[in-house]
Amino acid sequence: MIEVVDITSENIQEKGFFCMRSKPKSEGYQSKLTWLLNRFQDGLKLKVLEDNGHPKGFIEYIPIENSWRGVKGSNYLLIHCMWIVGKAKGKGYGSKLLLDCIEDAKLHNKSGVAMVASSQTWLADKDFFIKNGFESVEQAPPCFELIVKKFNDHQVIPKFNHGWEERASKYRDGITILKSDQCPYIHDAVETILEVAAERGINSKVIDIDNSNAAQFAASAYGTFNVIYNGKLLTYHPINKRELHKKLDQA
**φ, ψ for residue 11 (rounded to 5)?**
-115, 5
Instruction: Identify the pLDDT of residue 91.
Output: 86
Judge if the upstream peptide bond of residue 63 is cis by omega within 30 degrees of 0.
no
For strands 71-72 and 232-235, give the pairing.
unpaired
CB 129 within 8 A of CB 98: yes
Strand order in the sheet with 204-208: 204-208, 175-179, 225-229, 232-235
C-alpha span between 85 and 207 (Å, rounded): 31
Dist. CA 100–CA 172, nearest whole Å: 43
In which residue ranges of the chain is pLDDT below 70?
none
Task: Report yes or no: 106 and 149 within 8 Å, Cβ to Cβ.
Answer: no
Measured in whole angstroms, how far is the alpha carbon of residue 71 from the centre of its chain?
Answer: 12
What is the structure's pLDDT at 89?
81
C-alpha span between 50 and 14 (Å, rounded): 14
What single letter denotes the amino acid at residue 23?
Answer: K
Name the 3-class secondary structure at 215: helix
pLDDT value of residue 90: 82
What is the pLDDT, as a whole number, of residue 85? 86
pLDDT attached to residue 87: 79
Are 138 and 160 contacting, i.e. CB atoms less than 8 angstroms apart? yes
User: Residue 214 in contact with residue 182, Cβ under 8 Å?
Assistant: no
pLDDT in the model for residue 227:
98
The pLDDT of residue 155: 85
Domains of the chain with bracketed CATH: 2-160 (3.40.630.30), 164-250 (3.40.30.120)
